[in-house]
Structure formats: structure tokens, C-alpha cells
Chains A and B, each alone.
Chain A
Amino acid sequence: MKLIIAIIKPYKLEEVKNALADIGVRGVTATEVKGFGRQKGHTEIYRGSEISVDFVTKVKLEIAVTDDAVGAVTDAIVRTAQTGKIGDGKLFVLPLENAVRIRTGETGDGAL
């Protein structure tokens, strides 16, 4: 099992979710987060005083998948979240030791 963590542009969330649903992903956790990468921040101007916003709002997705699904899920996220411009985000794949469905007590792949 693998845990996929993807940082994407907030307005791409709906598209990514639909693409994941299309390939059969049945659970996603989404969190609003702030951070910076190479995009750095941007500047806002209030009555002439420039204010740099260093932390940009992004959405973090956490998706637990079976090993054989990693390729399809990664492809779906990259395909839908990509704009080609700086600030599209990043995706990490981590090994996942176990998963438990709390309702039934199932473990491993069966809990996903």
C-alpha cells in the first residue's frame, strides 16, 4: 500500500476529485494548507502599501491506494492539476504499513 500526498492549486480540486472518482478511487482527504515552493508568494497593494503574501493557499490531498493503483492515480492527478505554470504543486508517494476500517476492523488492502 502506498500513501499519495498531493499539493495542488485550490481551484483544481473539483477536477482532480472527478478524475480520481472516474478511475475508482473511493476515498480522499483534502485539507486547505499554506506553504511556499518556487512560486514564492505574491504582492497585494492596499492604498499604495505593498504587502507580500509569502505563504500561498494550496489544497493537500491524502489518498491511500493499493500498490498497483499508484501509477493510475498519479497520472490522473498530474493530468488534471497541471497548468504548466509555476505553482502547480507537488506529489509525494510514501510507503504505507497498514490501514484499518474502523467500522469493521478490516485491515490491509481490504480496508481501502
Chain B
Amino acid sequence: MCRSSSPSRARRLAVCLIALISFPAAVSAAGAPETAKLEERLAALEAYVKNTAPDAAASLAGQPGPGHNGWMMTGTALVLFMTLPGLALFYGGLVRRKNVLSVLAQCFGIAGLATVLWWAAGFSLSFAKGGAITGGLDHVFLNGVTSRAGGWLPWVSDNVWAMYQLTFAIITPALIVGAIAERMKFSAILLFVTLWTFAVYYPFAHMMWGGGWFAETLGAIDFAGGLVVHISSGFSALALCLFLGPRLGYGREKMAPHSMVLCGVGTAILWVGWYGFNAGSAGAADGIAANAFTTTTLSAAVGGFVWGLLDYVFKGKPSVLGICSGIIGGLALVTPATGYITPNGAMLCGVVAGAVPYLFCVKLKAVLGYDDALDTFGVHAVGGTLGILLAGLLATSKANPGIDPARSLIDTGSWKLFGAQAAAAGIAIVWSVAATLAIAWIVKKTTGLRPSKDDERIGLDITDHGEEGYID
């Protein structure tokens, strides 16, 4: 949580008085006991401004704080905007025109499916009190999750927190679509995602953010989802694309992006939406969020420049797709570190994000010959893993008081945090790959994974959805 140096008593009083005048309705709605002393009521307001938990008996206990709650609702909309339409357009532009609608359908389909699963059990398994691996069943069907604040965050409504985290549960499986685009049946994708969220996403979210094993026992950190979102989806994507095999004609036929304009528009939307993702992960409109907002911007900008520069040096022209990839690489890489590092640390993240995923997508993929159609592995798995490791190297208590200086490399030269990060990444990678292969096998035995060869050649827009992307 953010802690600034103590303001003078007079300034504190002034802030509280302004807050009192601004929010009379909230105070009266809380039904403050007539007997509550002015000092107690001021202390509750002060807790709101500083984003600390109010005293359980305070007049404002359970009241959502307008500023924090407002930012988190905005952030929720921004993260949903990343998937719909950001990711849908980014991926949609990269496929051939006969498959553009199938990508949109997969993103929309996953958004609907993940929402229903989240309401039924996902939120509870991720964020209810429970064991080391998953949460309990206290909040199935969003039971007991209301507009009251304090269940998870001191000033944010419990249902806003549930909706905010839902948008992460939507975009994570949607990212996997990029590796298997143009060659997996819609029904198979929905069945795969259903099983995958239970086997991978909910446990990871609980272990990292819901009070489970990664965070509490291992001591690993993941500010906005480098492990929970990008390692999990990226390595699952690689496993699934290897299991599926390449697209028909891969390496022989022309498989160029059908619209670099859609791809560019999608990238821009992803960048904007990522502020909700990263700065929103502070869970409040506080100083930590402000720092995350800053580091996110720097890493994205530098990542785009570096990739474009490498294109220019090695291929002679800075390509738009290269710049877009670098921006997304920079955003994905800084995600786990964003609220823990300084702006200078973010500049370093940006450079790494432009360079290393470039090598994976441009050089290594050609050497190894796997068909990661839209480079989910090269950008998200590689970026997410580097980000988790860099968070271990660059996290400092100067950027976030939540970091224990005794475990920080920058603060005290300790490798403890980095060790925890490396261990968490390794476990997450093995878990994701193993679960994905098992689920893919099950789906293959039930609905089957791939469309018929004829259907794949015709394009999934017509064969899976009965529509065409462009009528001319």
C-alpha cells in the first residue's frame, strides 16, 4: 500500500474537511452513530485518502471510497476493452481474410464463457479463502459479493473487484487463440478454455493473488499478471500449437496478415487498455497506481522503438508489425514488475522487451519451425517470463513499500526475491504445459480439435460461423 510521509496536522485536517464537504451523502448513508467522535470520523476519511483499511467500527467501514472505486470501475472497462476489441482486432488483422471473423468469434465467445464460469465458480476458486492451491466455495455464484467494500480491498466494492478480476480471466485464455489461429474448431476452443481455466487460471490466480502458495509460501510477486496471465497463456499456447500441428500449407503458402491497419488499431487499443490492467492492479487510485501508470508507459514506448530499430538494422525497414510487436512485448514484460520498479527500471524492461522477443519471433521460430501463428509464445511467454525474472531483479522498496528490502537485490543485494521469482516461473511453466497437453488430449477425444482439411482451406469464417468478414 502507498504511504507518503506524514503531512502536518493542519494539512491533514484540511484534506479531511474538503473530503467531508465533498462527500456528505456517503457519510450520512453510512449511518454514522451520533455518538461517534469527530476524531474517529476524520480517521476514517484519512484512511480513505491514504488507502488503508478503516477501523472495523468506523463510520465508513464497508463504504466504497468514491475515488478508488471509480478508478477500479474505469480500469475494469479498460481491461475488457483490451480483449474486445483490442486483442480481437490485433489478432484479426494478422490472420488471412478468410479467418478474420473466426478470431472475433473466439474472443467474443471466450468473453461470454469466461464470465459465466467466473460467476459460477471462478471467482470463488480464485479469491475466496481456501487452501494453498485454490480458494474455497464461499463465493460461488458470486454469493455474498456485493457493493460493500472491504472484502478484498479497503475502499473498493467487492463486486467491482470481482468484475475487475473477471476481465483478466477473459483476456488470458483469449491470448492463447493467437497461437492456434486459423486451425482449431470453435467448439473445441470453448471446451478447451472451460477445462483450462479450472486447471490453470483459477489455481494460478489464487496462488499469486488470492492468498495461495506462490505469494504466501514462496514469496513471489506478480503485480499485474506476468505469471498469472502471460506465462500461463504463453506456454499453454506453445504446447497447444505443437499438439495441433501447423496450419495446412504452412511454410509453402502465403500467410501474410490480411490487414495491418486492424493490427495497428488493435495494438493501440491494447496499449490504452493496459493502463487499466497495470495501474488498476494497484487496487486503488493511489501512489502505487501512479507509478505503475508511469512504468507501463515507458516500457511500451521503448519496446516499440527497440523492435523497430532492430527491424531497420537487420531487414532495412522499420516495419509496423515490428513496432506493434515491440509495444506489446514492452507492455507484457513490464506487467509483473510495473508497480514494484522505478521508471529507470522500466526503461531497462523496454529495451529487453524489444530485443529478446524479437529474437524468438524473427530468428528462433524460423529455426525451430513451430507454427505459433500470431506469436503468442514469442511475445507473451517470453515477455512474461523475462518480466517475472526482472521483477525479482528490479523490485525495490523505494518504488513500493510492500517490497521487503531484506529480500530485494537493489535494496540490500539479496537474491531471495529473484530466487522465488525463478522458482515460481519454472513451476508455472511446467504446470501450464502439462495441463494444456492433458486437456488438448481430452478435447481431441471428445469434440476433436481441428476442422476438416476442406473446411480449413475454405476458411473458418464460413465453415464455423456461416458468415464472411468482407462482402464485396
Query: Residues on A close to B: CB < 8 A?
Result: 44-49, 51-53
Contacts and interface: CB of A to CB of B under 8 A. Distances in A.
Interface residues of B, number: 17
Q: DSSP class of B's interface residues: helix, strand, loop or mixed?
A: helix
B304 to A, nearest CB: 14
B254 A53 contact: yes
B363 interface: yes
A48 B366 contact: yes
B256 A48 contact: no
A45 B254 contact: no
B247 to A, nearest CB: 12
Contact of A47 (B254, B317, B375): B375
Contacts, number: 30
Nearest to B324: A47
Q: Which of A47, A49, A51, A52 has the most CB of B within 10 A?
A: A47
Contacts of A49: 255, 365-366
B254 A51 contact: yes
B256 A44 contact: yes
A46 B362 CA distance: 9
B325 interface: yes
Contacts of A53: 254
A46 B254 contact: no
Majority SS at the chain A contact face: strand
Contacts of A47: 319, 321-322, 325, 361-362, 375, 378
Counting chain B CB atoms within 10 Å of each CB, which of A46, A51, A52, A53 scores highest? A46
A53 B362 CA distance: 19
A47 B255 CA distance: 12
B213 to A, nearest CB: 36
16 contacts: A44-B256, A45-B317, A45-B319, A46-B321, A47-B319, A47-B321, A47-B322, A47-B325, A47-B362, A47-B378, A48-B315, A48-B361, A48-B362, A48-B365, A51-B256, A52-B254
Contacts of B319: 45-47
B86 to A, nearest CB: 19
B150 interface: no
Nearest to A48: B362
Nearest to A45: B315
Contacts of B362: 47-48
Interface string B229-267: 000000000000000000000000011110000000000
A51 B322 contact: no
A49 B367 CA distance: 11
A48 B372 CA distance: 13
A68 B363 CA distance: 60
Given A47-B321, A48-B363, 8 more contacts: A45-B315, A45-B319, A46-B256, A48-B315, A49-B255, A49-B366, A51-B256, A52-B254
A103 B213 CA distance: 84
Contacts of B322: 47
A53 B361 CA distance: 21
